[in-house]
Amino acid sequence: MPDPQLVLAARVQAALSAAFGPSYADADPVIRPSSFADLQANVALPLAKKLGRKPRDVADEIVAHLDTADVVADVQVSGPGFINLTLSDDWIAAAAQRALDDERLDVPLVDKPQKVVVEYSSPNVAKEMHVGHLRTTIVGDALARILGFLGHEVIRDNHVGDWGTPFGMLIEHLLDLGEDAAARGDSSVSDLTEFYQAARRKFDSDEAFADRSRRRVVALQAGDAETLRLWNVLVDVSKRYFNAVYGQLGVTLSDADIRGESFYNDLLEPTVRELEEKGIAVVSEGALCAFPPGFTGREGEPLPVIIRKSDGGYNYSTTDLATIRYRVDTEHVDRMIYVVGTTQALHFQMVFAVARMAGWLNDDVRAEHAQIGNVLGTDGKLLRTRAGGTVKLSELLDEAVERAGAVFDEIQHDQPYDDATRAAIVRDVAMGAVKYADLSVARDSEYVFDLDRMISFHGKTGPYLQYAVARIRSIFRKGGLTPEQASGPIVLGHPAERALALELLGFGAVVQQAGETTEPHRLATYIYAVADAYTTFHENCPVLKAPDEETKASRLALCAATLRTLVTGLDLLGVPTPERM
Ligand code: ARG
């Protein structure tokens, strides 16, 4: 899809090179939205300074070399040397028509598809998923969808915390409760917070239990069959819980995407050996450490990444290093995206630095930490229950559904719904609300989890966008045709038609940027702008009652293109769009 900004940037660059020589071919043409035209190119100002000439003269010279007759209807130099560019209606209409006619909305697949790991969600076994995991799940799922749509080979990777010393006490506690408690789904096991805390309490107060637990860790690490079987029972209980939450949210993660910390257990030793052989891991105060350059503590002392503790145990960082090595050596990935909280920023910076020292990461293999900001309650503090505990994700989502139901019953519906249909729509509204609220904020900023604000049919919300989609669908139902049957041709008359068509042309560039920068909020913001342009169009341009058949065909085609842009965009964000509302 030709994004006007990109098309005009290329044309201005060609003019620069024609006017001032090929060395200017890559100069930034400084294209910006303009209030006097569609866009303006502001490159004349910095260029004039460089050339020691008057900006207006430079602007005139660029315009003299500008070849845009097919794209632009009007070019004006204004002010100190802004070049105002007004796109031609025919060009916009033709571009919108191409998007409509193409099943990918004219969004090209990437030239060089990459193998990309998107690591997200990554909750811990035998622990409650918290709101932080909600956010990494939602953002990660959107990124996986976006990168896949662009044509990359995406590996979804749920790096669950399923290994480590706590499993000794957890297994012993499971034995004390009796395995059948797990099989029955007894809450003493299935309530993960309760289960974990009870084990912890015993561990801290009962010496014999603590001893058993420590022995159990050793047996687990030695690969004792019975211990591994018990460990698996615990993993399964948690998986069932994770899957329930994923199902509720409608995210694309399945069991096949789980590659927990335990998967890398056997790779820890060879990883550490390689780091030692390369002289990267050295013994310091009894522990095996790496000191990546540029990381220092308060006193300027080099900061270690502890690879093996003095007691011989491995660390969280060791697993992450083994993971990178595996992804590079065995999976041959080009890019790995870690969708994890900002609080782990230093950890990843240091791990990536060590991986670069080892040659696993380099200019061809990228690792990025897509940082996720904290989720706050309406009081501006970290989201907690009233009693101060961790908020349970499943309960939070249940509450969203309940509130969505109340709000849904207040809006005007296409028709009365039976209970099952109503429940399905309400679920979509609730999840759409939670997901869109999360995705419309820059992923690394904090955001306030406020159900009342997110579940509203007004404002920048998921339900508002879902409603816009349902409204367009109902136009087609009333008109007695499917959106696929609306083939145009698109002809632009009213300014609201032109503004909508122009907005639609931005889709491809936005999706591409969202994937490149791992920032789905760019897409979320764009989708809202499309819905906004549609609303203005809808208020000003009757569709089914258009003045003549040509106008009606064109407006239906604009509706169809808008519908597909909204549905595709929302689907890339993981936001469902009910047929009717
Ligand atoms: N399980 C961790 C947590 O809940 C997140 C794992 C992040 N991924 C990683 N490769 N370290 O905080």
HEC-encoded secondary structure of 399-449: HHHHHHHHHHCCCCCCCCCCHHHHHHHHHHHHHHHHHHHHHCCCCCCCEEC
The model's pLDDT over 128-167, given as tens digits with 9 standing for 90+, comes to 888 889 999 999 999 999 999 999 999 999 999 999 889 9
Cα–Cα distances in angstroms (integers) from residue 302 to residues 279, 286, 294, in the given order: 16, 16, 8
Indicate whether residue 320 lines ligand 1 (CB < 6 A). Answer: yes
Q: What percent of the chain has pLDDT over 90?
A: 86
Q: What is the pTM of this model?
A: 0.95
| Pocket test residue of 135, 159, 235 for ligand 1, highest count of atoms within 8 A of CB | 159
The model's pLDDT over 62-87, given as tens digits with 9 standing for 90+, comes to 999 999 999 999 999 999 999 999 99
Q: Which domains does the chain have, with CATH numbers?
A: 4-87 (3.30.1360.70), 166-257 (no CATH)
Q: How far is the CA of 437 from the centre of ligand 1 (A)?
A: 23
The model's pLDDT over 352-374, given as tens digits with 9 standing for 90+, comes to 999 999 999 999 999 999 999 99
Block residue for tokens 């005139």: 60
| pLDDT for position 412 | 87
Structural contact between residues 581 and 467, judged by C-beta atoms closer than 8 angstroms: yes
Q: How far is the CA of 468 from the centre of ligand 1 (A)?
A: 37
Nearest CA owner, ligand 1 atom 11 = 320
The model's pLDDT over 562-577, given as tens digits with 9 standing for 90+, comes to 999 999 999 999 999 9
Indicate whether residue 124 lines ligand 1 (CB < 6 A). Answer: yes
Structural contact between residues 105 and 1, judged by C-beta atoms closer than 8 angstroms: yes
CB atoms closer than 10 angstroms to residue 572: 26
**Residue 1 binned pLDDT confidence (cut-offs 50, 70, 90):** low
Block residue for tokens 């820890």: 268
Residue 321 pairs with which residues in a beta bridge? Answer: none
| pLDDT for position 117 | 98
The model's pLDDT over 258-316, given as tens digits with 9 standing for 90+, comes to 999 999 999 999 999 999 999 999 999 999 999 999 999 999 999 999 999 998 889 99
Closest-CA residue to 436 (of 416, 455, 417, 413): 455
**Residue 20 binned pLDDT confidence (cut-offs 50, 70, 90):** very high
Q: What percent of the chain has pLDDT over 70?
A: 100
| Pocket test residue of 344, 372, 374 for ligand 1, highest count of atoms within 8 A of CB | 344
The model's pLDDT over 411-465, given as tens digits with 9 standing for 90+, comes to 988 889 999 999 999 999 999 999 999 999 999 999 899 999 999 999 999 999 9
Which ligand 1 atom lies nearest to the CA of residue 341? 12
Retrieve residue 226's tokens.
Answer: 């019975």
Indicate whether residue 321 lines ligand 1 (CB < 6 A). Answer: no
Angle (nearest 5°) at CA 141 between 360 and 469: 150
Looking from the CA of 357 toward its CB, the CA atoms found within 13 Å total 21
**Residue 254 binned pLDDT confidence (cut-offs 50, 70, 90):** very high
| pLDDT for position 72 | 95
The model's pLDDT over 372-395, given as tens digits with 9 standing for 90+, comes to 999 998 888 888 777 777 788 888
Return the axis-axis angle of helices 549-572 and 131-149, rounded to nearest 10°: 130
Q: How far is the CA of 122 from the centre of ligand 1 (A)?
A: 5
Q: Average pLDDT, stretch 337-353?
A: 97
Q: How far is the CA of 158 from the centre of ligand 1 (A)?
A: 9
| pLDDT for position 578 | 96
CA distance 235 to 233: 6
Q: How far is the CA of 75 from the centre of ligand 1 (A)?
A: 53
| pLDDT for position 574 | 98
The model's pLDDT over 226-235, given as tens digits with 9 standing for 90+, comes to 999 999 999 9
Cα–Cα distances in angstroms (integers) from residue 117 to residues 140, 238, 257, 266, 370, in the given order: 10, 23, 11, 21, 12
- Identity of the amino acid at 352: F
| Pocket test residue of 340, 346, 369 for ligand 1, highest count of atoms within 8 A of CB | 340
Burial of 254 (0-12, 13-18, 19+ CB in 10 A): exposed
Q: Average pLDDT, stretch 30-38?
A: 91
Q: How far is the CA of 121 from the centre of ligand 1 (A)?
A: 8
Query: Which one has a higher pLDDT value, 213 or 393?
Result: 213
User: Average model confidence (pLDDT) for the chain?
Assistant: 94
Indicate whether residue 122 lines ligand 1 (CB < 6 A). Answer: yes
Indicate whether residue 340 lines ligand 1 (CB < 6 A). Answer: yes
